[in-house]
């Protein structure tokens, strides 16, 4: 996958790709090209932004520098603008975008981007949530990280991606590691039993229960099989008994 990012502060992105996503870049599974918008000023002052027409606060990134920077990319592919006005990003979108070969992200700053650039060149506007950041760089890092996790060979154990929260509409459940007993707080016995069938059933029931408790909105959309309903009921009875 070829990923291009146009930004006023590309150094913010440089530091965010470590660990798994950094390895994806090292292994050439993904090629990341950072484009510094400041190099594409079209005036003697070196500016890339200007005051908004019609007045109002802040500055707006101009269409000409943005256009010039985009034209340096051989194959921009699908062009995404990060903006709080975009469709809110989620796991389904991350999976869909992970199937594309060329992606270009455009990061806004200040008051945003001249609308004509968006109209002419942007295929999709994405927001990472209903709040306002100072710039699109952190949003681009979030989106790129979530995309890369879904590309084959980025994560050693492929199955862990499929079992992650949101991959099947539900949340991953509780996880534990050593010690099995910490000051009297014990790891659920079944996880130590070595009985894989029972362990998997517990994990499924726990994940459904966690989803129901923490994200009733997601839970409502799940279509549970009869077996899942039984497992969840048994798990609920077990939790209730523990608290009685």
Q: How far is the CB of 124 from ligand SAM (least distance, A)?
A: 12
Size of the site for ligand SAM (CB under 6 A): 20
Partnered with residue 78 across adjacent β-strands are 103
Among 64, 67, 111, 164, binds ligand SAM (CB under 6 A): 111
Is residue 52 at the binding interface for ligand SAM, with CB under 6 A as the rule? no
Residue whose C-alpha is closest to residue 27's, from 161, 138, 156: 156
Q: Is 111 a catalytic residue?
A: yes
Instruction: Report how far residue 179's alpha carbon sits from residue 27's, in angstroms, rounded to the nearest whole number.
Output: 35
Query: What does the DSSP 8-state code read for residue 15?
Result: T
| Interaction of residue 90 with ligand SAM, rule CB under 6 A | no
Binding of residue 82 to ligand SAM (CB under 6 A): yes
In 3D space, the residue among 99, 81, 101 whose CA is nearest the CA of residue 89 turns out to be 81
Alpha-helical (H) ranges within the chain are 10-14, 19-26, 63-71, 91-97, 115-121, 136-148, 158-162, 196-214, 216-221, 226-243
133 touching ligand SAM, by CB under 6 A: yes
* Residue 243 structure tokens: 């608290």
CA separation for the pair 99, 42 (Å, rounded): 35
Shortest Å distance, C-beta 136 to ligand SAM? 3
> Which of 5, 8, 79, 107 touches ligand SAM by CB under 6 A?
107
Reply yes or no on whether 164 is catalytic: yes
- For ligand SAM, the closer of residues 146 and 232 by Cβ is 146
Give percent helix, percent strand, percent coil of the chain, each to the nearest 5: 45, 20, 40
Short-list 114, 111, 107, CA closest to 82:
107
- Residue 62 touches ligand SAM, criterion: CB under 6 A: no
Based on CB atoms, which residue is closest to ligand SAM, 134 or 180?
134
Task: Please select the residue that binds ligand SAM; options are 10, 62, 65, 112, rule is CB under 6 A.
Answer: 112
- Specify whether 26 is catalytic: no
Residue nearest to ligand SAM (CB): 108
Question: C-alpha angle 12/14/18, rounded to 5°?
Answer: 115
The set of catalytic residues is 84, 111, 149, 164
Residues making contact with ligand SAM (CB under 6 A): 82-85, 107-109, 111-113, 127-129, 131-136, 139
């Amino acid at each position: 996958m070829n990923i291009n990012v146009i930004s006023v502060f590309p150094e913010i992105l440089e530091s965010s790709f470590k660990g798994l996503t950094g390895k994806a870049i090292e292994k050439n599974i993904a090629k990341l090209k950072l484009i510094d918008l400041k190099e594409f000023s079209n005036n003697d002052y070196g500016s890339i932004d200007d005051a908004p027409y019609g007045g109002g606060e802040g500055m707006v990134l101009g269409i000409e520098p943005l256009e010039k920077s985009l034209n340096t990319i051989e194959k921009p592919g699908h062009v995404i603008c990060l903006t709080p006005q975009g469709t809110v990003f989620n796991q389904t979108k991350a999976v869909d975008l992970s199937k594309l070969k060329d992606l270009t992200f455009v990061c806004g700053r200040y008051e945003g981007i001249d609308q004509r650039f968006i109209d002419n060149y942007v295929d999709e506007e994405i927001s990472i949530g209903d709040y306002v950041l100072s710039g699109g760089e952190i949003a681009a890092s979030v989106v790129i990280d979530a995309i890369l996790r879904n590309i084959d060979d980025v994560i050693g154990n492929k199955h862990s991606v499929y079992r992650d929260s949101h991959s099947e509409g539900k949340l991953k459940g509780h996880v534990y590691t050593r010690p099995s007993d910490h000051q009297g707080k014990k790891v659920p016995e079944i996880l130590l039993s070595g009985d894989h069938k029972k362990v998997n059933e517990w994990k499924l029931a726990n994940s459904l229960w966690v989803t129901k408790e923490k994200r009733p909105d997601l839970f409502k959309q799940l279509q549970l099989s009869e077996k899942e309903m039984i497992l969840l009921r048994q798990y609920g009875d077990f939790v209730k008994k523990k608290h009685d």
